[in-house]
Structure 1
Amino acid sequence: MTRIVSNLAEISHQYDALFVDLWGCVHDGIKALPDAVKALQAYRQSGGKVVLVTNSPRPRVGVEKQLVHFGVPEDAWDTIATSGDSARSAMYRGAVGEKVYFIGERRDQDFFRPLDILENPVEITQVPLDEAEGIVCAGPFDPMADLDVMRPDFLLAKQYGLKLLCANPDIVVDRGETREWCAGALAALYTEMGGESLYFGKPHPPIYDLARRRLSALGKPIADDRILAIGDGVLTDIAGAMGEDIDSLFITGGLAREETRTCTDPDASALKSYLSEQMSAPTFAIGYLR
């Protein structure tokens, strides 16, 4: 049964490392969340390691710049694992061919930065859909638009037998008070239409493999039973932790704020109903990371 806790320090002594989601936990897409920052700083001061594990389609360096912009200080984390890095590695190994049709905003072009850690990476060229060997999706062209605008392109892509590489499995995020579509929603639509989508972020294994490698690079390896995953998405953060057999702390005041009736803390009855409906069983739950 999921245990509701009042703060991270109540349970953090049980763990040597945290895998922490960013959006909805450490920042709201506009600015840092001060209580979350303080909790992570205190955890690191006690000797714990913090790996930010995010479904951002951006390379790690892009997320680092974003954190500075949002006001998340460097002493709140140790390293970062992004779905963008995991997906880029797959792309440069040729997972969807060399000629790709790119779906995303202009700011997402960092996805195509060279990846020097691979030997003999394939040469990627962005082309129109009718010339493509595969699709790379970092997010919608317009995150506020109806997803159905992509159906004509997806119908053609399915007829061509193109695979879609999804760089961000999130369905939605909340930028402040505004909810936006993510790449995961388009990948789900493409799959629903009969296409094949490839995922590299939470809840899928590749990003956890990357997170463990980044954690090990900080020092000695840490066993899974000494890692706590923190996030506000039951279908991504919590499902991924459960799949990896890692304990989890569900932030109820993020994406499921209304469903869990979270003000400062979640309503116990509402939380139980929501988790039952979602068939999810996080180890712990808290209103907001603090």
Structure 2
Amino acid sequence: MTIRIIDGLGAVAEHYGLFVIDQWGVLHDGAQTHPGAVRALRELRALATRTGAGIALLSNSGKRVEASYERLSALGIDRDLYDLVVTSGEELHRGLLQRGRDDADDPFYGALGRRAFGIWWDDDRGILDGCDVAETDDIAAADFILCAGTGGSELDDYMPVLAAALDRDLPMACANPDRVSVQPDGSLKMCPGAIAEAYERMGGTVRWHGKPQRAVYDMIRAHFDTDAPGIGIGDSLQHDIQGAENGGLDSLFIAGGIHRQDLGRPLDPDQVEALARTRGVHPTYAADMFRW
């Protein structure tokens, strides 16, 4: 089936009872909201009030949900415009709370040791709060790697520590599976998923969270207690669109995000189809930006 190009979500929203929306690249660029995004959320909220649909903002952020609430509010995206925020960082935090427990729901975390070699964006260590995990900057003393940032470095900068970790068969928990993110100036920045992917290709064990894992979509459905038709909205074919497919949702591909340089304007369905095929996915719809 040919991908349908639409002007905005309003063209198809009536068909769905669950909306799973990406943040970065769809609602904002980290510095300001995208044109039309807030209005689209307001219109969607009005629809959801009438139909009972659920609105979840799902982010592959390595930080906890409180950081998302703060960023969204600062950008003018009020909490009454959505029902739920889910981040991959919060999911990892939940796993760490089980660390070392015989009754852990997730055997990966149940088997983890106490000392983490952390890779971070900044000084935010919120995902460690209450988890009884000690940080070490010595890979030889670590029990596992916690990959939650890149610090602006290049991938090659991490290869020595990854090689040392592999020699010791250390597992890695990845808080943000994105490989790149689009910056306010349009450039692409390496994300933690690139480091985790490199480690996995070397033969290391990686525990992934967030999109495109099916588990996070199942959790969102369980939160809303709904089996209504759903739609995933995002700018990453690899994460948002693949995730929607894995979670049994239709999808709206926002082409003006990380793939903005890969497609001409106006959007051509054959070009979108060809690009999506390179990632092994098939969006239901495509739009240039997130708008109503």
Under a length normalisation based on structure 2, what TM-score does the superposition of the two structures give?
A: 0.89
Distance in 2 (alpha carbons) for counterparts of 1:110 and 1:286: 35
AA aligned to 2:157 is: V
Q: 1:147 is matched with which residue?
A: 155
Indicate yes or no: 2:30 matched with 1:29.
Answer: yes
Distance in 1 (alpha carbons) for counterparts of 2:172 and 2:121: 16
Q: 2:252 is matched with which residue?
A: 249
Identity %: 29
The unaligned stretches of length 5 or more in structure 2 are 100-108
Q: Following TM superposition, by how much is the alpha carbon of 1:36 offset from its aligned partner in structure 2, in angstroms?
A: 1.5
Per-residue CA deviations over 1:21-49 (Å, capped at 9, x if unaligned) read: 00100001111123011111101112233
AA aligned to 1:91 is: L
Indicate yes or no: 2:116 matched with 1:100.
Answer: yes
**104-113 or 198-207, which deviates more:** 104-113
Q: Secondary structure at the match of 2:124?
A: helix
The unaligned stretches of length 5 or more in structure 1 are 115-121
The counterpart of 1:129, out of the listed 139, 156, 163, is 139
Q: Secondary structure at the match of 1:253?
A: coil
Give the conservation status (yes or no) of the 8 Å contact 1:247–1:282. Answer: yes
Q: Secondary structure at the match of 2:244?
A: helix
Distance in 1 (alpha carbons) for counterparts of 2:74 and 2:163: 39
Q: 2:56 is matched with which residue?
A: 51
Q: Secondary structure at the match of 2:206?
A: strand
Per-residue CA deviations over 1:198-254 (Å, capped at 9, x if unaligned) read: 10110012322332344x2xxxx221x521110111110111111121111111111
Q: 2:274 is matched with which residue?
A: 273
Aligned-residue Cα RMSD (Å) equals: 1.5
Give the conservation status (yes or no) of the 8 Å contact 1:231–1:249. Answer: yes
C-alpha distance 267-107 of structure 1, shift in aligned 2 (>3 A): farther
Q: 2:226 is matched with which residue?
A: 222
Structural mapping, 1:1-290, within 5 Å: 1=1, 2-47=3-48, 48-94=53-99, 95=109, 96-114=112-130, 123-127=132-136, 128-142=138-152, 145-177=153-185, 178-214=187-223, 216=224, 221-223=225-227, 225-262=228-265, 265-290=266-291
Distance in 2 (alpha carbons) for counterparts of 1:285 and 1:35: 16
Per-residue CA deviations over 1:77-130 (Å, capped at 9, x if unaligned) read: 22101101111111222223221111112243122123xxxxxxx521112321
Distance in 2 (alpha carbons) for counterparts of 1:45 and 1:100: 45
Distance in 2 (alpha carbons) for counterparts of 1:141 and 1:92: 25
Distance in 2 (alpha carbons) for counterparts of 1:71 and 1:107: 25
Distance in 2 (alpha carbons) for counterparts of 1:17 and 1:276: 26
Per-residue CA deviations over 1:160-218 (Å, capped at 9, x if unaligned) read: 1101100010000012123211110000111122211110110012322332344x2xx
Structure 1 segments (4+ residues) deviating >4 Å: none
AA aligned to 2:63 is: R
Q: Secondary structure at the match of 2:197?
A: helix
Give the conservation status (yes or no) of the 8 Å contact 2:19–2:56. Answer: yes
Count residues in correspondence. 273
Under a length normalisation based on structure 1, what TM-score does the superposition of the two structures give?
A: 0.89
Distance in 2 (alpha carbons) for counterparts of 1:74 and 1:235: 28
AA aligned to 2:145 is: I
Distance in 2 (alpha carbons) for counterparts of 1:173 and 1:108: 19
